[in-house]
Chain A
Amino acid sequence: MYNFEFERPTSVADAVKALGQEEAQPLAGGQTLIPTLKQRLAMPSKLVSLSGISEMKGITQEGRTLVVGAATVHADVAADGTIAALSDLAGNIGDPAVRNRGTIGGSVANNDPSACYPAAALGLGATIVTDRREIAADDFFTGMFETALDEGEIVTAVKFPQPEAAAYAKFEQPASRFALVGVFVARTGEGVRVAVTGASEGGVFRWREAETALASDFSAGALDGMAPEADDMISDLHGSAAYRAHLVGVMARRAVAAAR
């Protein structure tokens, strides 16, 4: 990889300052960024490690909201259990060693179209907290590897409202074990949300027809025979667009059946 400076600030403010340098980039768990750097697909001048910032770590409850610090690793979210669906999802990302390093902030900031956390954030109607503002998940994920983050802006936490019932059903791509299709379903006081990852060229999205169908009848049967249009689904080595569209229906039904 190309060389870079390395800095490890201990506060968000210092991190933001360090990121002011041209081509500086935050480093969280590195589970995505380091393989990318090895392929020489990125050339940061400086990496600003977020792992020394204690205010960005840990999980707290604020009323009916779960606040997860952006530098919290997947393993810690998996162990938390307050929102079972979220912990189950985190516990099934990658492997144990990845979960001991990878963070929720890195995952949402990266917005990989096959990643799991974006589905939870969108499905639960989370709020992404940054060093300068709060962004609703609906506005945050703007396309494959695209988010609403500005240059130098860092995610500091993700706030999840406690759902009445929720679950995530993931169908793994056989090689990478990322989501070939993952569906996060949540029922909250404000209605039902269904977020789909892995399937679409546009990254994570809400499957509105399913939400409507589930609003009146929150049961797997309500989705019988339903699948989204295959038109803008991903087609690759591991599955055609039609197959992915079909799987969205299957995984959505499984998530509804498992929701608790």
Chain B
Amino acid sequence: MPKDHGIGASSKRREDVRFLTGDGNYTDDINVHGQAYVHFLRSDVAHGRLTSVDTSEAGKMPGVVRIFTGADFEGVGGLPCGWCVTDRHGEPMQEPGHPVLAQGKVRHVGDPIAAVVADTPEQARDAAEAIIADIEEFPAVVDMKAALKEGAPKVHDDLSSNLCYDWGFVEENREAVDKAIQEAAHVTTLELVNQRLVANPMEPRVAIGEYSRARDEHTLYTTSQNPHVIRLLMGAFVLGIPEHKLRVVAPDVGGGFGSKIFHYAEEAFCTFAAKAVNRPVKWTSSRSEAFMTDAHGRDHVTKIELALDADNNFTALRTDTHANMGAYLSTFAPSVPTWLHGTLMAGNYRTPLIYVNVKAVFTNTVPVDAYRGAGRPEATYQLERVIDKAARELGVDPIALRRQNFVTEFPYATPVAVEYDTGDYNATMDKLEEIADLKGFAARRKESEARGRLRGLGVNCYIEACGIAPSNLVGQLGARAGLYESATVRVNATGGLVVMTGSHSHGQGHETSFAQVVADMIGIDENMVDIVHGDTANTPMGMGTYGSRSIAVGGSAMVRATEKIIAKAKKIAAHLLEASDADIELKDGAFTVAGTDKSVAWGDVTLAAYVPHNYPLEDIEPGLEETAFYDPANFTYPAGAYACEVELDPETGKVTVERFAAADDFGNIINPMIVDGQVHGGIGQGIGQALLESCAYDENGQLLSASYMDYAMPRADDVPFYSVDHSCSTPCTHNPLGVKGCGEAGAIGSPPAVVNAVIDAMQSGGHKVDHIDMPVSPSRVWTAMNG
């Protein structure tokens, strides 16, 4: 019987009503009295020296309030990078400066050169067009391997080369891995590209800076997944504003998928300019601007080698990856190809020896950072593609080969530094075989073939590390911030609760699922609990939402705070019931003395806390409000198995996804409906990556896929209904809810399933194609089959 309330119930989302009636409050819906608008003049060349920026004519145009250039930001800090990676030789990465407005050079198409603040957006744009920016154009570096060649143009003149770092993991294993590969019975090698993507949340970014002279206070409204992180980075590193003078508000945010984690120049600009012109300053990104300013994702080029013994056991794995950083280091960019990627290379398998090499490279392109999955999709894709290829080369069943090599005993310490606490990979694979109806595939293939179509089946597993992250561990790995989460639970006198969380919800439904947890713990109606997030003025310092961390870390903080509330409330109840607090039980919103029918209601206890007439004032303070910070002991490790069936039209090369099934182990589930939705969305994006999406540059660094005219977003008719299941559950062992997180799984697990299916379809038609790069577009498929 499905539950109808509390943990495990598919409670309807309370946030939906405002979104369904047009009553949401997105950043662009906010207009501050007297606001001016900014338009950024952006570089239309990928690389060059700014020889002069003449704003004299532009400054005289109607409505112009002030024009800013790089010179205005000379005394101001640059945009900081939040993670320092140490290379194979123990040296820190090369870390270039990242000015708010370009200084001296422009380094990618879209790099901001000047900013016009004017009374209306159109006036700002008119004046921006009148600015004369002279740029001495340099050859651009776009291809990563070319960027590392001797004599390649340097993106940053003050760095020794375009190499950000050369990372080896685990460096001590390098020789042993080489040896194992040399001695292996079989080695499968695959070279592949995990193409550059654009996150494309449907809401473009917006920033509004506001400044009060009287109070010397700054407010920034911004489309962010983590307002506290922006406050810290921008306040401490860019503008030098202490936290108590800087409020950052991220109201309703229309999707993020990683791209709204980072601190962007436009946020710092609006905050800075609002004080400089003593007027609120608003920036609304157009979609065209978003394509050249939102951090991109992925962009790895990899060679992977899998060694197997004569019995098809995996013996070693070696990867060599080039990871594009773009022109500057975005906030978390260095961590993505390293700690979020190398640590996952063991996948679901017992491979005793693993060595991962990653060269991070600067190019004249938009900075690349985390996009849904961040590093883990790249790891999963390589591994699950190479296993499929190995199975084909060895003539064995790809599922059997996976099962044979599964990790089956937990906890399991991988050779790449992480320890999986729980899991049952055979169980999710069994479940997948059932829900994907793999038995029926042969018949479906026959039916497709009768219509002149090829049909392919692709299966893969994935594992991810979520619940980011134990602070002391990530500190050792180079993180410059803690990665705990926080919650304040405030109980009102009449028993209602407000939970102020440092997590942020931009589609994940925290306002509903977090309330379910607290209501369940106390045994009260969910409607008595409200969740507040997104405003640094009324939430405790938190690290925000990304990396599928909210329920595992933010939820745990909330549980801890609620536990403190309950502990205190029990003391009050004990006093009211004249019993010992050890004997007090809380159930269904009432405190009872164990073994008696003496009880007091939740609301009477909360009232006593605020009207302490009859109250143990000697022992405890009045009031009922608690805060907890939760720092996780380990990552969580959601895992699962995915299957995709495609049909391929051999005449045109067009691939359609006919069926998609996902069996996930997310540990305990708070709201199954929301979890399903997260998986659906991830699969949609994964199918998008596999078949449609590609952010492409030409050799001069011009963005070719600069709008939805050329960047193919998945649409409703590109995808089927998905069959998803999360009944296989091995609860996380180290957080109070036993949850693992589910936000990224779909995007991580689905691309290899799709590509494996396409290869299978081509093979079934007699085409000896063993690899094709994403996006698997019709033209690529046709070329592969007819090349």
Please tell me if the beta carbons of B708 and A175 are within 8 angstroms of each other in the complex: yes
B contact residues around A3 at 8 Å (CB): 122
Q: Count of A residues near B, CB < 8 Å?
A: 20
B288 within 8 A of A: yes
Please tell me if the beta carbons of A237 and B694 are within 8 angstroms of each other in the complex: yes
A contact residues around B704 at 8 Å (CB): 236-237
Bound CA–CA A39/B129 (angstroms): 12
Please tell me if the beta carbons of B288 and A238 are within 8 angstroms of each other in the complex: no
B contact residues around A171 at 8 Å (CB): 652, 654, 778
**Selected interface stretch from A79-87, A97-105, A243-251:** A243-251
A contact residues around B712 at 8 Å (CB): 174-175
A contact residues around B733 at 8 Å (CB): none
**Chain B nearest CB, measured from A243 CB (Å):** 5
Report which residue of B126, B692, B708, B710 has the largest number of chain A beta carbons within 10 angstroms of its beta carbon.
B710
Please tell me if the beta carbons of B711 and A175 are within 8 angstroms of each other in the complex: yes
B contact residues around A175 at 8 Å (CB): 692, 705, 708-713
Name the interface residues of B119-143: CB closer than 8 Å to any CB of A: 122, 125-126, 129
B56 within 8 A of A: no
Pick the contact of A243 from B126, B694, B779 — CB < 8 Å?
Answer: B779
A contact residues around B189 at 8 Å (CB): none
B777 within 8 A of A: yes
Please tell me if the beta carbons of B783 and A174 are within 8 angstroms of each other in the complex: no
A239 within 8 A of B: yes
Give a binary string over B143-160; 1 marks a CB under 8 Å from any A CB, 0 the rest. 000000000000000000
A216 within 8 A of B: no
**Chain A nearest CB, measured from B590 CB (Å):** 55
**Chain B nearest CB, measured from A176 CB (Å):** 4
A60 within 8 A of B: no
Q: Closest residue to B694 on the A side, CB-wise?
A: A237
B contact residues around A236 at 8 Å (CB): 704
Bound CA–CA A238/B704 (angstroms): 11
Q: Closest residue to A243 on the B side, CB-wise?
A: B779
Bound CA–CA A237/B698 (angstroms): 10
A240 within 8 A of B: yes
Please tell me if the beta carbons of A239 and B778 are within 8 angstroms of each other in the complex: yes
**Chain B nearest CB, measured from A115 CB (Å):** 13
Bound CA–CA A81/B129 (angstroms): 48
Please tell me if the beta carbons of B708 and A243 are within 8 angstroms of each other in the complex: no
**Chain A nearest CB, measured from B308 CB (Å):** 37
Bound CA–CA A40/B654 (angstroms): 35
B772 within 8 A of A: no
Bound CA–CA A176/B709 (angstroms): 4
Bound CA–CA A251/B709 (angstroms): 22
B contact residues around A250 at 8 Å (CB): 651-652
**Chain A nearest CB, measured from B711 CB (Å):** 6
Bound CA–CA A237/B705 (angstroms): 8
Q: Count of B residues near A, CB < 8 Å?
A: 28
Name the interface residues of A171-187: CB closer than 8 Å to any CB of B: 171, 174-176, 180
B696 within 8 A of A: yes
Please tell me if the beta carbons of A243 and B783 are within 8 angstroms of each other in the complex: yes
A contact residues around B125 at 8 Å (CB): 40
**Chain A nearest CB, measured from B292 CB (Å):** 13
Known: A39-B288, A171-B652. Is A238-B709 also a contact (CB below 8 A)?
no
B782 within 8 A of A: yes
Bound CA–CA A247/B652 (angstroms): 7
Q: Closest residue to A249 on the B side, CB-wise?
A: B651
Name the interface residues of A145-172: CB closer than 8 Å to any CB of B: 171
Report which residue of B704, B705, B777 has the largest number of chain A beta carbons within 10 angstroms of its beta carbon.
B777
Please tell me if the beta carbons of B710 and A237 are within 8 angstroms of each other in the complex: yes
A contact residues around B782 at 8 Å (CB): 243, 246
B contact residues around A240 at 8 Å (CB): 779, 783
Please tell me if the beta carbons of A237 and B696 are within 8 angstroms of each other in the complex: yes
Please tell me if the beta carbons of B652 and A238 are within 8 angstroms of each other in the complex: no
Name the interface residues of B657-695: CB closer than 8 Å to any CB of A: 691-692, 694
Please tell me if the beta carbons of A174 and B692 are within 8 angstroms of each other in the complex: yes
A contact residues around B654 at 8 Å (CB): 171
Name the interface residues of B581-632: CB closer than 8 Å to any CB of A: none
Name the interface residues of B759-787: CB closer than 8 Å to any CB of A: 777-779, 782-783, 786
Bound CA–CA A239/B694 (angstroms): 13
Bound CA–CA A250/B786 (angstroms): 14
Bound CA–CA A84/B691 (angstroms): 32
Bound CA–CA A243/B779 (angstroms): 6
Please tell me if the beta carbons of A238 and B122 are within 8 angstroms of each other in the complex: no
A contact residues around B653 at 8 Å (CB): 243
Please tell me if the beta carbons of B288 and A176 are within 8 angstroms of each other in the complex: no
**Chain A nearest CB, measured from B653 CB (Å):** 8
Give a binary string over A14-40; 1 marks a CB under 8 Å from any B CB, 0 the rest. 000000000000000000000000111
B contact residues around A180 at 8 Å (CB): 778
Q: Closest residue to B718 on the A side, CB-wise?
A: A174
Report which residue of B691, B694, B704, B778 has the largest number of chain A beta carbons within 10 angstroms of its beta carbon.
B778
A contact residues around B696 at 8 Å (CB): 237
**Chain B nearest CB, measured from A194 CB (Å):** 18
A contact residues around B691 at 8 Å (CB): 174
B contact residues around A247 at 8 Å (CB): 652
Bound CA–CA A40/B779 (angstroms): 32
**Chain A nearest CB, measured from B519 CB (Å):** 42
Bound CA–CA A5/B409 (angstroms): 74
Please tell me if the beta carbons of A176 and B652 are within 8 angstroms of each other in the complex: no
**Chain A nearest CB, measured from B692 CB (Å):** 5
Name the interface residues of A211-260: CB closer than 8 Å to any CB of B: 236-240, 243, 246-247, 250
Q: Closest residue to A39 on the B side, CB-wise?
A: B288
Known: A171-B652, A237-B704, A250-B651. Is A176-B779 also a contact (CB below 8 A)?
no
Please tell me if the beta carbons of A176 and B710 are within 8 angstroms of each other in the complex: yes
Q: Closest residue to B777 on the A side, CB-wise?
A: A174
The contact sample of 8 A-B pairs, CB cut-off 8 A, is: A3-B122, A175-B705, A237-B694, A237-B710, A239-B777, A243-B778, A243-B782, A250-B652
Known: A175-B705, A238-B710, A247-B652. 7 other contacts (CB 8 A): A1-B122, A40-B125, A174-B777, A238-B779, A243-B782, A246-B782, A250-B652
Please report A residues at the B interface, Cβ cutoff 8 Å.
1-3, 38-40, 171, 174-176, 180, 236-240, 243, 246-247, 250
Please report B residues at the A interface, Cβ cutoff 8 Å.
122, 125-126, 129, 286, 288, 651-654, 691-692, 694, 696, 704-705, 708-713, 777-779, 782-783, 786
Q: What are the nearest 3 A-B pairs in CB distance?
A: A175-B712, A239-B779, A174-B712
